[in-house]
């Protein structure tokens, strides 16, 4: 199978930093995406990694290690509006846009 594993829930404090981990099976890997989804809304794109290393975009950064089948999403200077579900998704294979999603990590940011 192509299981994508991420923690179910996390809690963090406003202004803090939180890291959400994601592990996946490496065979056929062809890119990893992070999406944010607020309750009742569509998922929105946060980041994309296909090569090893860190991609930084404002308060959000994403890291990938292809050999370890591991990624994390780092959220800095947390704000209340960051309370949402964070979805890790992996693209496998070539000529396809099919994404395999993890079940998502529900992040609660507390004052």
Partner 1 sequence: KAGVTQTPRYLIKTRGQQVTLSCSPISGHRSVSWYQQTPGQGLQFLFEYFSETQRNKGNFPGRFSGRQFSNSRSEMNVSTLELGDSALYLCASRLQGAQGEAFFGQGTRLTVV
- State which of residues 57, 98, 108, 110 lies at the interface with partner 1 (CB under 8 A): 98
Subset of 22-41 contacting partner 1 (CB under 8 A): 31, 33, 35, 41
* Cβ nearer to partner 1, comparing 74 with 106: 106
- State which of residues 17, 50, 54, 108 lies at the interface with partner 1 (CB under 8 A): 50
| 84 lies in the binding site for partner 1 (CB under 8 A) | no
* Cβ nearer to partner 1, comparing 5 with 14: 5
- State which of residues 42, 58, 67, 81 lies at the interface with partner 1 (CB under 8 A): 42
Instruction: Let me know the angle formed at the C-alpha of 22 by 86 and 41, rounded to the nearest 5 degrees.
Output: 15
55-72 burial by CB neighbour count: b if 16+ within 10 A, else e?
beeeebbbbbebeebebb
The whole-angstrom separation of Cα 108 and Cα 61 is: 18
DSSP strand E in the chain: where?
4-5, 9-13, 18-24, 29-37, 44-49, 53-57, 60-65, 70-75, 84-92, 99-101, 105-110
* Cβ nearer to partner 1, comparing 97 with 111: 97
* Chain residues in the site for partner 1 (CB under 8 A): 31, 33, 35, 41-45, 48, 50, 87, 89, 95-104
């Amino acid at each position: 199978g192509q299981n994508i594993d991420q923690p179910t829930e996390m809690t963090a404090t406003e202004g803090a930093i939180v890291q959400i981990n994601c592990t996946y099976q490496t065979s056929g890997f062809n890119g990893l995406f992070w999406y944010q989804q607020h309750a009742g809304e569509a998922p929105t794109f946060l980041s994309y990694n296909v090569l090893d290393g860190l991609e930084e975009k404002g308060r959000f950064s994403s890291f990938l290690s292809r050999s370890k089948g591991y990624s994390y999403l780092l959220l800095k200077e947390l704000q209340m509006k960051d309370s949402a579900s964070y979805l890790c998704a992996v693209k496998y294979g070539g000529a396809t846009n099919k994404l395999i999603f993890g079940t998502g990590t529900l992040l609660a940011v507390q004052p």
